[in-house]
Amino acid sequence: MMIVMKPGATPQQVENVISYVIDLGLTPHLEQGVENVFIGLLGQNYSIPVETLEALEGVQQVTRISQAFKLASRQFQSEDSVFPLAGYNVGGNDIILIAGPCAVESRSQIIETAQAVREAGANALRGGVFKPRTSPYAFQGLGEQGLEFLAEAGQATGMPVVAEIVSETQLEVMLKYVDVLQIGARNMQNFYLLSAVGQVRTPVLLKRGPAATIEEFLMSAEYILTGGNRHVILCERGIRTFETTTRNTTDINAIPALKALSHLPVILDPSHSTGLSEYVPAVARAAIAAGADGLIIEVHPDPPRALSDGRQSLTPEQFAELMHQIRAIAEAMSRKIARVGHNLSDGW
């Protein structure tokens, strides 16, 4: 259920409505629109007549949100969610390009990669430090030392850093180093972890699980949003089907579908969705043409020697060529690649 306040409703009227719905056992979520204040109501007590809420002073109308995912829904917020990161916007007209190795392997490797992708035009650096691997004998990441290397590389290049968190017990140490917390596909329905990152205000990049429906994906985002963290990025990374030619099946349909159902920014991971570096550029181009708000791409200076996912990683040279193509597609879509550190008001 959502309450739409009248244009010009006073802060006291808004506060009175909030107090009233709290007394009813409902949890209010406040959103400031261009002209109106919106109050989303969550909870089980929906027996109160709509007319009773509409009679409250300052209320314009009350509507019921039919979607199971309330706060993520376009019914709750019709405008696209946009939030700042490192001097540019996530969502809106900007396109974010997150690039870097699957895993941080050494200080020299992550700094070399960061410099290369930054020079090519990337605006955020990724790198895994806690690696949830299928085999317990596979490389599990460098842990906090990897976070230190990643943060150093980000600072050296001026890029915000993105790293995956795999347990709520890691939250304190992760917040010391990273700018965006990534929830991987395996943890999309780890509800304790989702609730934990919902309590902080660091942006969260949430990946779709390999067998999750779009509604299940958005319900996972809802766990983060209900905690008060509104800076959520949805990431399509391919789903598991009967097809075995590629690692996963890229669900390009999910991009327009998610953007129709939700106001949250949507990006695509062509590396995991294909599993093969030769297919990454084509799928990345398709994602931007389909309306994605960004990409997250694995890049390694020497993919054959990568300790993790080298087969799907681009070389820096391949990434630079892809960036030229992405810029052209973005321009054709009347959009632009976000630039790190620019002033949001200077018209770039």
Instruction: Examine the fold and report which residue of 18, 35, 63 is the final residue of a domain before the chain moves on.
Output: 63
Give tens-digit pLDDT for 27-72.
Answer: 888 877 767 788 888 776 666 778 888 899 989 888 888 788 989 9
- Residue 190 inside a domain? The answer is yes
pLDDT exceeds 50 at position 128: yes
Q: Give the length of the chain.
A: 348
Is the same domain home to 36 and 155?
no
Question: What CATH number does residue 55 fall under?
Answer: 3.30.70.1140
Is the same domain home to 105 and 184?
yes
By mean pLDDT, which of 19-33, 69-83, 143-157, 326-340 is the weakest?
Answer: 19-33
- Residue 78 inside a domain? The answer is no
Domain that holds residue 197: 83-337
By mean pLDDT, which of 37-41, 76-80, 258-262 is the weakest?
Answer: 37-41
Is the same domain home to 216 and 283?
yes
CA atoms of 319 and 276, how far apart (whole Å): 14
- Residue 177 inside a domain? The answer is yes
pLDDT for 347 equals 32
- Residue 211 inside a domain? The answer is yes
Instruction: Examine the fold and report which residue of 63, 93, 112 is the final residue of a domain before the chain moves on.
Output: 63
Q: Which two tokens stand for residue 152?
A: 């150093």
Question: What CATH number does residue 205 fall under?
Answer: 3.20.20.70
Give tens-digit pLDDT for 177-186.
Answer: 999 999 999 9
Is the same domain home to 207 and 239?
yes
Is the same domain home to 20 and 98?
no
In this prediction, residue 134 has a pLDDT band, given cuts at 50, 70 and 90, of confident
- Residue 342 inside a domain? The answer is no
In this prediction, residue 344 has a pLDDT band, given cuts at 50, 70 and 90, of very low
Is the same domain home to 207 and 299?
yes
Give tens-digit pLDDT for 267-326.
Answer: 999 999 999 999 999 999 999 999 999 999 999 999 999 999 999 999 999 999 999 999
CA atoms of 179 and 176, how far apart (whole Å): 9
Is the same domain home to 151 and 215?
yes
- Residue 343 inside a domain? The answer is no
pLDDT for 102 equals 95
Is the same domain home to 56 and 87?
no
Q: In whole angstroms, how far apart are CA 312 and each of 35, 43, 135, 262, 298?
A: 46, 44, 18, 29, 7
pLDDT exceeds 50 at position 329: yes
pLDDT exceeds 90 at position 21: no
Is the same domain home to 50 and 156?
no
Q: What is the mean pLDDT of residues 222-227?
A: 93
What value does the mean pLDDT of the chain take? 92
In this prediction, residue 341 has a pLDDT band, given cuts at 50, 70 and 90, of low
Counted domains in the chain: 2
- Residue 43 inside a domain? The answer is yes
Alpha helices in the chain (DSSP H): 11-23, 50-54, 107-120, 144-157, 171-175, 191-198, 214-226, 254-261, 270-274, 280-289, 316-332
Is the same domain home to 110 and 175?
yes
Is the same domain home to 314 and 250?
yes
> DSSP characters for 156-197?
HHT--EEEE---GGGHHHHHTT-SEEEE-GGGTT-HHHHHHH
pLDDT for 345 equals 35
CA atoms of 198 and 221, how far apart (whole Å): 9
Q: Which two tokens stand for residue 344?
A: 């949001």
Is the same domain home to 51 and 89?
no
